Structure 1
């Protein structure tokens, strides 16, 4: 995998074997919000709340009014996190009110998927198209595919897709055939459009000049970028940021066009205008090799070897046999729960307990079906297995939904109340977020209780050597139902309608009673 130091150390800490690098993907999502910390926190929480995802970096820029969030993990988990983050951003970012120096077309502006290690680009292309389809179908957001996932050659380049920004897209999406999205409606909304794609790693790199004259930055950017006849694999534009001229760049192939070559060309062009480079910055993460290339160049390290880097030695160490043995442990997930942040929390834990209960049920079923000894119950257990597989997937998704719902509720409660209009909007947002924060754990409790019937069947008719596994699953389902019920009850105070509160409270009591009866049924089957 590209040697991104933070992620390499994460892998080393989790003692993952080399084989587990297959299927790992990074996403570097760009959101059109860089000033409201609570909104950025809610989006970040939606990402970190997905099991298996490692949140790597969050960087906000108030002048650009933009945030870049990097995270990585297995492809399916990264795709789910990208969807959940887009869902939260849709409810919290209004492009009609957005102002910033950076071009943008949507609340969730860009969603690139980058293959790590031995993951093929084709897997990221498939992931981009599936996530794009979900965003279009389930959230009603117009989606455009770009780079390797593009379905039209004119949409490979992000700048072409985003040309004219949100305002031009809003005016033309429903009447210009060229604006027809790949997924979702050809209809304007305050969330704008989202550009989803697959690409190799790139470096977002900015250089500041000793001038406030943005025209100088624009002239240098034109010379440096490939489309202006400059360096291949460089995209650049000139901006005014915090009173300083900035050359904002994407370096799309740092191996062919290294950072130091870009800096030296900018420095040479700046001298022509009597200005200098004052500093530079990396936005998001950077491959370690890119920095080592610059170090070798400027320090003239002609006999330097990459294996002399201490962190690389640490990341490469470890017993691969031991790593394989423990690779199934949810170390990153446990760290996320222990981090001292509001999400993921008890609601997500309840859903994951339910998912683990479903997984244990599947284990018992898979130890039974296909064996001659149990042929008479084969059909019954295969049906139970199918239901448990569906429940496991649903409960895993609900774990992410719960974190996203709680994060959205926190953000809604922090909305301003300085004018009557703001009070009305805040009340509407709080009621909507409260409803979702109740509905998600209520669904978890319902799904957890439903598991107990299949677990009872497995305990009585499945492989007797795995009966205790079914019973452990029953305890987990019981915990999931009761834990989720607590999260419903704690949010009832936000429901204005007393009849609705009583009805929901009654539902939870019924589910708790059913969970107790279901647990005893499974335990009594021994």
Structure 2
């Protein structure tokens, strides 16, 4: 299955919020790295601090972060810094945040390597915090920043207090740059829940019901009674119902309503849809209603996709539908358009990153546009891309039958069975649509390799190696198409046997499309393998393709025979 692209967010805080020219020079370094999207620059005069947000693939983000830290170390002298916010360095904190296709643990490892590089190459000492912490107590940023900049002279060379990387006596360089805390944390979602009320008090009550911290336990009257203390003199708290959340209630003049304002600090423990439902429940218990939801800033795509699937499951409906449909369900279910239009291309991190790439993808063409592009004189898209698209259509047909079966009157007790098949079909379709463009990219790589210079012996060697690498890639891509298309047969067979009998012919056509995809992609494997110098590798690829072809022929024959039996066609 095609692996989703890894995307991370970086949110460095720089100890300069007043000199816009300095801030601009730092953000210029970030924007100079290809593949990085600068999302936000938020300077604060009172704090004398600027929060910057940018996203991209991990390698690009790390390079942009390193260049920004280097520029901040050059321009910001901590000996003259004053501001309202706690700080200890020119680049004070530098968190790496997983957005998609990557885990928090992987981000933690990236953060540690970045911290070491900053210390080694820039001579800026670094502490590692939160998920990247090398010492348990340093998961808490406040521990890393204890004493702030003014306390560094004593800490940097103390064995217990020293930075994780770059520990040394407090010299002029450290005095100038201070230290940086590099970490990894989960994506934070800032969200406001709109209430049909103007009461801040009621909004606060709901916030206290749900936030992890909860509310103080009181003696007697739960609102005005004396707060209960434990044996250490600390206020005893009654925890709220949502882990990983912070919340308060407030009134918004602009909208004329009260809101429950929440930060979800761990979306794996408390996803957005779960928080929404719980706030709705607690509001209803207090005689109020949540009229909609306001997302502040950006969110990962998976947040909306998970929400769409969640609300469809509550309806006993299949979630094996296109992403666009899942997004609509999420937007409508949580009232994301209550205050203003909700545009995913402006609120979803991945979509903002893709908007700048201006890629002309085959899968974004209309059906006629794809056919016309294939018919033109250019050799790409060719048989490989068309084979992948046929496989995708086969998966789509099987998925359609699963969805129709899931929603068939009288089959309500089987909705989940068919919904799972539909979701599996959508996964196959998505992989094959990716391979449509991947096959054309493989051809382009070969053409690029043939276009390399070949004047010197060294250039000839490099060109030959590049051609072989590109040819191997062009052989492996259609083989992946064959494997993915082969998975369509199981879906179609199941739909012929168990699905809505009125749609059995659609499942049969899906199997025919899958067979054509396997055989067509197999031709591409063989024609490209013929140009490989490594005959052992080439023969192995061809042998694997032949097995898939043999299996596809048998599978299609079996499925079409079953279709004929259902629709009573005698041969």
Q: Greater helix percent: which structure?
A: 1
Tell me which structure has the larger Cα radius of gyration. Answer: 2
| TM-score for the superposition, normalised by structure 1 | 0.45
| TM-score for the superposition, normalised by structure 2 | 0.42
Higher relative contact order (CA 8 A, sep 6+): 1
